[in-house]
Amino acid sequence: MKKLFLRATYFFTFLAGITCLSAYHSETPPIKNTKKLAEPANLKLPTGFKATIVADSLVSARHLVVSKTGDIYVKLSKLKNGSGLYHLRDTNKDGFLDQQTGIGNYPGTGIALKNNYLYSASNTGVYRYQLNAKDEVMQPEQPEEIVKGLVAKTRDVSKSIAVDNKGNLYVTVGSPDETCRDESGKGIMPCPLLDSVGGIWQFKTNQKSQTYGTAVHYATGLKNVVGLDWNTQTNSLFAMMHGRGQFHDKFPQYYTPEQSTQLPAETMFELKAPGADAGWPYVYYDHQQKKKMLTPEYGGDGKKTGGEKTLDPVIAFPAHLGPNGLLFYTGTMFPARYKNGAFIAFHGKSTELQKGYMVAFVPFKNGKSAGDWEIFADNFAGVDLVQPTGPIQHRPCGLAQGPDGALYVSDDLKGTIYRITYTGKK
């Protein structure tokens, strides 16, 4: 069964990957907008912080990185003028990134910058571009395809990436199925999906055409991870998992409609070594009971605990917040309490909290979470989430740190990029 599943998976990803075969094309001519200026953003921030809009109209801007010169590379989940990767530059030094240059014609989410190389993910693989001294892509028409053939089906197709200090590349692969159950509704044991989705795979940063067969299956039991970051202080990988749904829909005898809006938690995991298991689809985390629970497909009823051998989350958040960005802050611009702490971009809404579309912060000390999470940047939605009267305006997705310690936030609803700085007393 396992071999048949893998063969079917590889065949599907071959078909899905055809759309990326034309990724080797030259960059589009730079588009300049010299009339725009950086403008204040209407965000709620702690005292001493301010936010400005430094780019817009990038459609579905997902993850982003900032180079040592202050240029930004941002991935788009939908093509803009035929490109899914954009280089943004402030040519007149007025604070607004007025020049936009498209590079690759494949959509995606993941992006990383390390040792003068830019890593950019499609939905089925990863490309590598070398940068020159000005942080410009040297050969935009000839990227190296270093990972290919990853699963991308009907949902959760995006790939997030991170790079460590030893030449390893980590790539997330989400599961298109939330539960791994058979036609009768019972969970399949062992879950065959875990062979190629629901986890993180480790590749090398300098090898071409790597596939599942040459990778290290670094972590499993992660339904879908979009927020991913390498923590240089702990020398370990951290991941934010999207929780599943369909509790009351499929199991009304165990869960009320209200419980379905509150469970399961969105969870952060620290992955210290290959072989880590976060427990999906067999268990979920209940942040109200503070316990790992058996899923109903595998014998759970909302009361039975399980997953004794699986990882405990570092911290848990209310359900359905949609953690899409994770960044450990290493700069010196912000006050000392933010040093080495984690920023998380949530692009969903919690019915339990009547909150969402925000950037949260988790303080860390000595490599461990050191306090409750808090809302850092709010009001991206632009509407009252308790009694919304209009459409959501912006939805945080990606996070990046500038060379001066500023925090950048991307918006995957309208393609706005924010820059958050601190000017208060430290």
Provide DSSP, 217-239.
Answer: EEEE--S-EEEEEEETTTTEEEE
Q: Which residue type is seen at 320?
A: H
Q: How far apart are CA 301 and CA 259, in angstroms?
A: 12
Q: How far apart are CA 340 and CA 332, in angstroms?
A: 10
pLDDT at position 426: 74
pLDDT at position 344: 98
Q: How far apart are CA 374 and CA 321, in angstroms?
A: 14
pLDDT at position 28: 66
Instruction: Could you please state the CATH topology (level 3) that the domain comprising 2-422 is classified under.
Output: Neuraminidase (2.120.10)
Q: How far apart are CA 61 and CA 398, in angstroms?
A: 8
Q: How far apart are CA 368 and CA 186, in angstroms?
A: 37
How far CA 79 is from CA of 62, 109, 245, 395, in Å, comes to: 12, 12, 29, 18
User: Residue 328: enclosing H or E segment and its boundaries?
Assistant: strand 323-328
pLDDT at position 245: 87
Domain ranges for the chain: 2-422
38 within 8 A of 53, measured Cβ to Cβ:
yes
| 3-state DSSP assignment of residue 304 | coil
**Widest Cα–Cα separation across the chain:** 63
421 closest CA partner among 330, 326, 331, 334: 334
In DSSP terms, 161 is beta-bridged to 171
389 within 8 A of 383, measured Cβ to Cβ:
yes
Triad 149, 153, 157: Cα angle to 5°: 80
Rounded to two decimals, what is the model's pTM?
Answer: 0.92
String of DSSP letters for 171-199: EEE--S-SS-B-TTSPBPSS-GGGGTSSE
| 3-state DSSP assignment of residue 22 | coil
Tens digit of pLDDT at every position of the chain (426 positions): 444 444 444 434 444 443 443 444 456 666 666 556 678 899 999 999 999 999 999 999 999 999 999 999 999 999 999 999 999 999 999 999 999 999 999 999 999 999 999 999 999 999 999 999 999 999 998 999 999 999 999 899 999 999 999 999 999 999 999 999 999 999 999 999 999 999 999 999 999 999 999 999 999 999 999 999 999 999 999 999 999 988 988 899 999 999 999 999 999 999 999 999 999 999 999 999 999 999 999 999 999 999 999 999 999 999 999 999 999 999 999 999 999 999 999 999 999 999 999 999 999 999 999 999 999 999 999 998 988 888 999 999 999 999 999 999 999 999 999 999 999 987
| 3-state DSSP assignment of residue 247 | helix
| 3-state DSSP assignment of residue 262 | helix
307 within 8 A of 299, measured Cβ to Cβ:
no
